[in-house]
Amino acid sequence: MRFSRGTYAFIATLGGSSMMRLPSIRALHPTVVPTMMMRHSTRVFLSSSSSSFQAPEPPTSKAQSIFPDVDLTASITESARQRNSDPNAVFLVNGSSRGIGLQMVKSLVERTQGTIVACCRTPDDPTSPLQQYLQSLSPTLQERIHTVPLDLQNQTSIDALGDYLKTTTTMHSNNRLDGLFNVAGVLGDGSTTPGPERSLARLERQWLEHTLQVNLVGHVMLIQALQRLLKSNIQKEDRPTSVIVNLSARVGSIADNELGGWYSYRMSKAALNQATRTMAHELKRQGTCAIAVHPGTTDTDLSKPFQKNVRAEKLFPVDFTVDQILDVVDRIDDTHTGGLYDWAGKAIPF
C-alpha cells in the first residue's frame, strides 16, 4: 500500500480531528496534557540551539532509564569535532524530502564540511521542498549534496542505495559513512488513514504492516546494507566514531505509556528502540554508536492533523528540533549507545 504526497498534503489541511479525545498530541509530545496530568516542570528549558525558540523543560518519566543523560552543556566529543570538520566525511539522511529530514540536510550542510547524501522517494521532483532548497544554494554547496532515490518499503531500492555508496566516485569520498540519520516515518491522521488507532477495533492489518515497513523494517534493512561503510576501524584508519540516529518517539516507550492508543505507531517505535539497543551492542565493536531520538512535537506535515490544541510554545520549529538533535549527537559516546533520548538529551526509559 502506498500513500502519495497528495494524500499527505490533504490530511495536513485537516485542522481538528476526532483523534484528539485519546492520546492525540500528547503522544507526540507528552507535555501537552491537562494540568492535573502534568509531571514536568514549567521552567523554560535553556537550549543550546542557535534558534531563538525557547522550549519548556521536557517531562520526566515515572520510570528510570538505564542510560545516562547527554549533557548539552558539555563540549562536543573529539569524534564529533573530527566528523564535522572532515571534508571526506559522508552523512546520509533518509526522509529528506520535507519536515525534519529536509531540515537535517540543511543543518548538516551548515554544521559539517562533508558530503550529504539526501535520500527520499522522489528526489528529482522539481516542485519538492528538497529541490527548491537545492536550487537556492551556490554551486559549491550543491556539490556537497547528492540526492538518491530511496523507498524504504522496497528492498531493491535499499540495496541500490548501498551499491551507490560503495561504488560512486563522484563524491569527495566513497566507501565510507560517518553519520546515518534514519528520519522517514508515518503516523497517519486517523481520518483518511486507519492510524493512529484509538482502539484495538480500529486496527487494520494493511496499515499496521505499512507502518512497520516504513518506521521499522526499512530502517533496519538500510542499516544492514550500510553497516560495512559505517565501520570506523579506528586503529587502522584513524576515523572517528560513526553514528546511527534513528528518529523514534516518546510514545514508543513502554514505561511511559499511560494512555494507550496509537497502536501501529507505538509498536513501530518501540520495536525501533529495541533494534537500536540490539545493534548498539554489536556495532560498538566496529566503532559505531547508535541512538534513538524523540524530536519533540515539531511543526511538520506529520503533526499537522494534531496541532489544533498545541500551545505555540510547545510546537517546535523544525530548525530548533534539528539543532537540538545534532547537539545531542555531537555529545554521545560509548556510554550512551543503544539509548533512547529526547531532544534535550534526557534519557527516556524503554
Ligand X SMILES: NC(=O)c1ccc[n+]([C@@H]2O[C@H](COP(=O)([O-])OP(=O)(O)OC[C@H]3O[C@@H](n4cnc5c(N)ncnc54)[C@H](OP(=O)(O)O)[C@@H]3O)[C@@H](O)[C@H]2O)c1
- 3-class SS letters over 209-263: HHHHHHHHHHHHHHHHHHHHHHCCCHHHHCCCCEEEEEECCHHHCCCCCCCCCCH
Q: How many residues bind ligand X (CB under 6 A)?
A: 31
- Report d(CA 303, CA 299) in Å as an integer: 6
Q: Nearer to ligand X by C-beta: 101 or 240?
A: 101
In the complex, the smallest distance separating the C-beta of residue 300 from ligand X, rounded to whole angstroms, is 3
The residue within the footprint of ligand X, chosen from 100, 145, 243, 292 (CB under 6 A), is 100
Compute the least distance from the CB of residue 157 to ligand X, in Å. 8
CB-nearer residue toward ligand X: 72 or 249: 249
Q: How far is the CB of 210 from ligand X (least distance, A)?
A: 8
Q: How far is the CB of 196 from ligand X (least distance, A)?
A: 11
Q: Measure the CA–CA gap between 238 and 18, rounded to whole angstroms.
A: 54
- d(Cα 88, Cα 212) in Å, to the nearest integer? 34
**Dist CA 287 CA 80 (whole Å):** 13
Closer to ligand X by Cβ: residue 113 or 154: 154
Is the peptide bond preceding residue 87 cis, with omega within 30 degrees of 0?
A: no
From 105, 117, 161, 183, residue interacting with ligand X (rule: CB under 6 A): 183
78-97 residues near ligand X, rule: CB under 6 A? 95, 97
CA 76 to chain CA centroid, nearest Å: 20
Q: DSSP character for 118?
A: E
Distance of CA 346 to the CA centre of its chain: 16
Nearer to ligand X, 90 or 130 (CB): 130
Q: Which of residues 288-327 bind ligand X (CB under 6 A)?
A: 294-295, 297-298, 300-303
∠ Cα 80 84 86 (to 5°): 115
What are the DSSP calls for 45-103, one per residue?
P---SSSS--PBPPPPPSS--SSPPP-TTSPPPHHHHHHHH-TT-EEEEESTTSHHHHH
Q: Which of residues 191-250 bind ligand X (CB under 6 A)?
A: 214, 247, 249
Least separation in angstroms between CB 139 and ligand X = 25
Q: How far is the CB of 119 from ligand X (least distance, A)?
A: 8
Q: Which is nearer to ligand X, 108 or 249 (CB)?
A: 249
Q: 241: which residues sit within 8 A by CB, 6+ positions away?
A: 77, 79, 83, 232, 234, 287, 288, 289, 333
Contact indicator for 250, 257 with CB cutoff of 8 Å: no
Structure-derived torsion over alpha carbons of residues 74, 320, 36, 311, reported in degrees to the nearest 10:
160
Nearer to ligand X, 80 or 100 (CB): 100
Identify which of residues 86 and 186 has a Cβ nearer to ligand X in the complex.
186
The single residue among 101, 123, 240, 287 that binds ligand X, judged by CB under 6 A, is: 101
Contact between 33 and ligand X per CB under 6 A: no
The stretch among 64-72, 131-139, 146-154, 173-181 that binds ligand X (CB under 6 A) is 146-154
Q: Which residue has cell 554489536?
A: 282
Backbone angles phi, psi at 321, to 5 degrees: -55, -50
Give the nearest distance from C-beta 190 to ligand X in angstroms.
14
Is position 261 an interface residue for ligand X (rule: CB under 6 A)? no
The answer to whether residue 118 forms part of the interface with ligand X (CB under 6 A) is no
List of residues contacting ligand X (CB under 6 A): 5, 8, 28, 95, 97-101, 120-121, 150-153, 183-187, 214, 247, 249, 294-295, 297-298, 300-303
